[in-house]
């Protein structure tokens, strides 16, 4: 198992951490890494918006009747899935045909890119609840990436977030984080 490198992107798309652990990927200049972080941040948002939307058939069939608006309102709450239906707009303007849609897997919120595979590496992206993104470049056949990712997040929480001198959203310069991360990853290989 090989972990090539780790990149941390803050919630605004800025690069705040970049380390290479094992050679295998090409080295980029600092500027290129900044560009890469920004590009990925944008692409990540777009991949979420191009999620295929499957139309729900029932509301369209009974579109113009006034009851459709109320039945349409009732359906998402009944199924209790976070479907991004157009209920609020349909309620205010009942004349618009109440077309609603669902995601391919109802009940699961749409996320952006989670993992990307190429011939030479696999990129796994983990986004925290606050919007920070962890990008892990690994061998394409590596298993248990979630474990590595979870541990890295743990180190981040322990040694970066708990560091009283760390300023939020700024580049991570915490020696303890580096040391522990390097040590743990070396121990695994």
Residues in contact with another protein by CB under 8 A are: 25-26, 28, 32, 36, 39-40, 42-43, 46-57, 60, 63, 86, 89-90, 93, 96-97, 99, 101, 103-105, 108-121, 137
Residue 117 or 154 with smaller CB distance to another protein: 117
10 in Cβ contact with 128 (< 8 Å): no
Residue 91 or 170 with smaller CB distance to another protein: 91
Minimum distance, C-beta of residue 160 to another protein, in the bound complex (Å): 24
Residue 122 or 151 with smaller CB distance to another protein: 122
Tokens of 174: 């915490």
Minimum distance, C-beta of residue 109 to another protein, in the bound complex (Å): 7
124 in Cβ contact with 114 (< 8 Å): yes
Residue 26 or 165 with smaller CB distance to another protein: 26
DSSP string, 4-55: EEEEEE-TTS-EEEEEE-SS-SPP--HHHHHHHHHHHHHHHHHHHHT---EE
Rounded distance between C-alpha atoms, residue 180 and residue 134, angstroms: 17
Minimum distance, C-beta of residue 87 to another protein, in the bound complex (Å): 10
Residue 71 or 99 with smaller CB distance to another protein: 99
Minimum distance, C-beta of residue 139 to another protein, in the bound complex (Å): 12
| Alpha carbon 63 to chain centroid, angstroms | 35
Minimum distance, C-beta of residue 95 to another protein, in the bound complex (Å): 10
Dihedral class, residue 181 (left if φ above 0, else alpha if ψ from -120 to 50, else beta):
alpha
Of the candidates 187, 188, 186, 162, which has an alpha carbon nearest to the alpha carbon of residue 174? 162
């Amino acid at each position: 198992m090989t972990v090539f490198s780790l990149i941390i992107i803050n919630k605004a798309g800025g690069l705040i951490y970049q380390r290479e652990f094992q050679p295998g990927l090409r080295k980029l200049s600092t500027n290129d890494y900044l560009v890469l972080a920004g590009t990925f941040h944008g692409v990540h948002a777009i991949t979420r918006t191009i999620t295929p939307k499957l139309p729900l058939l029932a509301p369209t069939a009974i579109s113009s009747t006034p009851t459709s608006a109320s039945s349409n309102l009732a359906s998402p709450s009944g199924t209790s899935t976070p479907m991004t239906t157009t209920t609020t707009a349909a309620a205010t303007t009942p004349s618009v045909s109440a077309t609603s849609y669902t995601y391919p897997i109802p009940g699961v919120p749409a996320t952006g890119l989670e993992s990307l595979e190429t011939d030479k590496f696999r990129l796994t992206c983990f986004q925290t609840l606050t919007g920070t993104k962890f990008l892990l470049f690994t061998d394409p056949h590596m298993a248990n990436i979630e474990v590595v990712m979870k541990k890295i997040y743990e180190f981040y929480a322990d040694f970066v977030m708990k560091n009283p001198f760390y300023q939020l959203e700024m580049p991570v310069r915490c020696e303890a984080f580096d040391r522990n991360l390097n040590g743990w990853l070396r121990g695994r290989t």
